[in-house]
Structure 1
Amino acid sequence: MQKISIMTPKYSNTEESVDVILIGAGIMSATLGVLLKELQPDLSIEIFERLDVAAAESSDAWNNAGTGHSAFCELNYTPQIADGTVETKKAVAIAESFEVSKQFWSFLVNSNLVDSPESFIKSIPHMSFVWGAENVEFLKTRYNNLQKSNLFKGMVYSEDPGLLAEWMPLVMEKRDPAEKVAATKMALGTDVNFGSLTRMMFNELQKREYINLYFDHEVRKLKQKNGLWEVKVKDQATGKKRIVKAKFVFIGAGGGSLPLLEKSGIPEGNGFGGFPVSGQWLKCVNPEVIAKHNAKVYGKASVGAPPMSVPHLDTRMIDGKKALLFGPYAGFSTRFLKHGSLLDLPLSIKVNNIRPMISAGLDNLQLTKYLIDQVRQSPEDRLEALKEYLPTAKMEDWELETAGQRVQVIKKDEKHGGILEFGTEVVTAADGSIAALLGASPGASTAVSIMITLMERCFSKKLKTTEWQKKLKEMIPSYGEKLSGNAELTQQIRTETTRVLKLKAE
Structure 2
Amino acid sequence: MDPALPACKMQKADAADNAETTMSSTTTDTASSVDVVLIGGGVMSATLGTLLRQLQPDWSISIFERLDSVAEESSNAWNNAGTGHSALCELNYTPQRADGSVDITKAINVNEQFQVSRQFWTYLVEQNILESARDFLTPVPHMSFVWGDKNVSFLQARYKALSAHPLFSGMEFTQDQGQIAQWAPLVMRNRPAGQNLAVTRSLRGTDVNFGALTRLLFTYLVTTPACTLHTRHDVHDIRRDSDGRWVIKVQDTRLNTEREVKARFVFIGGGGGALPLLQKTGIPESRGVGGFPVSGQFLRCTNPDLIAQHHAKIYGKASVGAPPMSVPHLDTRMIDGTPALLFGPYAGFSTRFLKNGSLLDLPRSIRASNFGAMLAVARDNWPLTKYLIEQVLQSHNDRIKALRDFIPDAQAKDWELVVAGQRVQIIKKDAKKGGVLQFGTEVISSADGSVAALLGASPGASTAAPIMLTVLKKCFASKLPEWDAKLKQIIPSYGQKLADNPELCAQLFDKSTSVLGLKEV
Classify the TM-score, shorter chain: over 0.9
- The DSSP-based 3-state class of the residue aligned with 1:62 is helix
Do residues 256 (structure 1) and 277 (structure 2) align? Answer: no
| Contact 1:149 1:485 (8 Å CA) reproduced | no
1:345-368 deviation per Cα after TM superposition (whole angstroms, max 9, x unaligned): 111111000111111111111000
1:197-221 deviation per Cα after TM superposition (whole angstroms, max 9, x unaligned): 0000000000010111100101111
Pairing of 1:29-48 with structure 2 (within 5 A): 29-48=45-64
Pairing of 1:100-111 with structure 2 (within 5 A): 100-111=116-127
Partner of residue 113 from structure 1, selected from 114, 125, 129: 129
Do residues 4 (structure 1) and 19 (structure 2) align? Answer: no
Residue 495 of structure 1 is matched in structure 2 by: 510
Backbone CA RMSD of aligned residues: 1.3
Partner of residue 357 from structure 1, selected from 366, 374, 390: 374
Residue 63 of structure 1 is matched in structure 2 by: 79
Give, as a single letter, the amino acid of the residue that structure 1 aligns with 2:151: N
Give, in whole Å, the separation in 2 of the partners of 1:440 and 1:396: 32
Do residues 218 (structure 1) and 234 (structure 2) align? Answer: yes
| Contact 2:81 2:325 (8 Å CA) reproduced | no
TM-score, scaled to structure 2: 0.94
Residue 479 of structure 1 is matched in structure 2 by: 494
- The DSSP-based 3-state class of the residue aligned with 1:352 is helix
The unaligned stretches of length 5 or more in structure 1 are none
Moved over 3 A (4+): 81-85
Residue 429 of structure 1 is matched in structure 2 by: 446
Give, in whole Å, the separation in 2 of the partners of 1:421 and 1:3: 37
Which moved further from structure 2: 39-48 or 479-488?
A: 479-488
- The DSSP-based 3-state class of the residue aligned with 2:424 is strand
What displacement does 1:504 show?
2.3
Partner of residue 271 from structure 1, selected from 277, 288, 305: 288
Give, in whole Å, the separation in 1 of the partners of 2:349 and 2:328: 17
Do residues 204 (structure 1) and 220 (structure 2) align? Answer: yes
Give, as a single letter, the amino acid of the residue that structure 2 aligns with 1:489: L
Give, as a single letter, the amino acid of the residue that structure 2 aligns with 1:219: V
1:429-456 deviation per Cα after TM superposition (whole angstroms, max 9, x unaligned): 0010100000001110000000001100
Give, as a single letter, the amino acid of the residue that structure 1 aligns with 2:447: A
Give, in whole Å, the separation in 1 of the partners of 2:363 and 2:154: 40
Which moved further from structure 2: 171-180 or 383-392?
A: 171-180
Pairing of 1:112-131 with structure 2 (within 5 A): 112-131=128-147
**CA shift in 2, pair 1:279/1:122, >3 Å:** same
Residue 160 of structure 1 is matched in structure 2 by: 176
Give, in whole Å, the separation in 1 of the partners of 2:333 and 2:520: 19
Residue 412 of structure 1 is matched in structure 2 by: 429
Do residues 458 (structure 1) and 494 (structure 2) align? Answer: no
Residue 114 of structure 2 is matched in structure 1 by: 98
Do residues 173 (structure 1) and 192 (structure 2) align? Answer: no
Give, in whole Å, the separation in 2 of the partners of 1:43 and 1:305: 44
Give, in whole Å, the separation in 2 of the partners of 1:85 and 1:358: 35
Partner of residue 337 from structure 1, selected from 354, 366, 385: 354
Give, in whole Å, the separation in 1 of the partners of 2:116 and 2:382: 37
Give, in whole Å, the separation in 2 of the partners of 1:81 and 1:62: 35
Give, as a single letter, the amino acid of the residue that structure 2 aligns with 1:196: A
Which moved further from structure 2: 412-421 or 82-91?
A: 82-91
Residue 302 of structure 1 is matched in structure 2 by: 319
Give, as a single letter, the amino acid of the residue that structure 1 aligns with 2:411: K
- The DSSP-based 3-state class of the residue aligned with 1:65 is coil
Give, as a single letter, the amino acid of the residue that structure 1 aligns with 2:126: N
Residue 316 of structure 1 is matched in structure 2 by: 333
| Contact 1:128 1:297 (8 Å CA) reproduced | yes
Give, as a single letter, the amino acid of the residue that structure 2 aligns with 1:115: E
Residue 292 of structure 1 is matched in structure 2 by: 309
Give, as a single letter, the amino acid of the residue that structure 1 aligns with 2:100: G
TM-score, scaled to structure 1: 0.97
1:259-313 deviation per Cα after TM superposition (whole angstroms, max 9, x unaligned): 0011110010111111111111111111111111000000000000011111000
Give, as a single letter, the amino acid of the residue that structure 1 aligns with 2:169: K
Give, in whole Å, the separation in 2 of the partners of 1:7 and 1:473: 36
Give, in whole Å, the separation in 1 of the partners of 2:81 and 2:333: 9
Give, in whole Å, the separation in 2 of the partners of 1:8 and 1:170: 48
* Count of residue pairs the alignment pairs up: 500
What displacement does 1:177 show?
2.3
What displacement does 1:176 show?
2.0
What displacement does 1:393 show?
0.4
- The DSSP-based 3-state class of the residue aligned with 2:78 is coil
The unaligned stretches of length 5 or more in structure 2 are 1-20
Give, in whole Å, the separation in 1 of the partners of 2:208 and 2:383: 32
- The DSSP-based 3-state class of the residue aligned with 1:425 is strand
Do residues 369 (structure 1) and 383 (structure 2) align? Answer: no
Identity %: 59
Residue 484 of structure 2 is matched in structure 1 by: 469
- The DSSP-based 3-state class of the residue aligned with 1:314 is strand
| Contact 1:66 1:193 (8 Å CA) reproduced | no
What displacement does 1:83 show?
3.9
Residue 297 of structure 2 is matched in structure 1 by: 280
What displacement does 1:115 show?
3.0
What displacement does 1:84 show?
3.2
| Contact 2:423 2:456 (8 Å CA) reproduced | yes
Partner of residue 386 from structure 1, selected from 383, 399, 403: 403
1:458-503 deviation per Cα after TM superposition (whole angstroms, max 9, x unaligned): 01111112xx111111111111111002111111001100001100
What displacement does 1:320 show?
0.8
Give, in whole Å, the separation in 1 of the partners of 2:438 and 2:154: 24
- The DSSP-based 3-state class of the residue aligned with 2:199 is strand
Give, in whole Å, the separation in 2 of the partners of 1:299 and 1:116: 32
What displacement does 1:7 show?
4.1
Give, in whole Å, the separation in 2 of the partners of 1:150 and 1:411: 35
Residue 245 of structure 2 is matched in structure 1 by: 228
Give, as a single letter, the amino acid of the residue that structure 1 aligns with 2:301: C
- The DSSP-based 3-state class of the residue aligned with 1:53 is coil
